[in-house]
Amino acid sequence: MKLYDGGRAPNPRRVRIFLAEKGLEVPLVPVNMGAEEHRSPEIERLNPLQRLPILELDDGTVLTESIAICRYFEALHPEPALFGSGVLGQAQVEMWQRRVELGLFMPVAAAFRHLHPAMKGWEVPQVPEWGEANKPKARDFLRFLDRELADRPFVCGGDYTIADITALVAVQFMKPARIEMPEGLDHLRRWLDDVAARASASA
């Protein structure tokens, strides 16, 4: 198998962090998104949406969408359980993964895609008002998450999960999206220091 990777782009990075937490190595095919290599005929053949990451299995089967790819590896390698353990645990991780993705990851992405000059040819049309409208949404979610982290080490409780990976990538992508971290979020900053220090965070 091989993983078509998009470097520092948020979704490819989520998969690389996930694989690192699992201790798995998958051959990477670098795709230079800055040079628009993701719009090449090869990538379009694998994913008509021209998005990364893309996992191509040995039999030619193709999986796209970062969380779907992570779930595939979770099923093959259940430990450590990054999607939760047991019926309730898995439901709780799914709940928080969706909360973080919809409440933080997507607003940060929208701000970046609709405001950053480098995205002008990608996000057509760019709607700067929509980009600006998403900045307070992201900051509001961070305040909510800070309150939730007051009594637990990770987003979904006592264990590091896919929800932490999504949140980490989103928070660190706030810089290129030009979203300032609100002041006084001590619990969030403690969590961020902890998860950013994990070896997988540099994947």
Same domain, 114 and 26: no
Q: 114: domain range?
A: 86-202
Q: How many domains does the chain have?
A: 2
Residue-level pLDDT, tens digit, the chain, 203 residues: 999 999 999 999 999 999 999 999 999 999 999 899 999 999 999 999 999 999 999 999 999 999 999 999 999 999 999 999 999 999 999 999 999 999 999 999 999 999 999 898 889 999 999 999 999 999 999 999 999 999 999 999 999 999 999 999 999 999 999 999 999 999 999 999 999 999 999 99
> Does residue 81 form part of some domain?
no
Of 4, 6, 3, 1, nearest to 169 by C-alpha is 6
Same domain, 66 and 139: no
Joined together, the tokens standing for residue 9 give 């782009």
Q: What is the CATH number of the domain that holds 151?
A: 1.20.1050.10
Q: What is the CATH number of the domain that holds 58?
A: 3.40.30.10
CA dihedral 80, 86, 88, 93 (to 10 degrees): 20
Distance CA 201, CA 198 (A): 6
Q: What is the pLDDT of residue 163?
A: 98
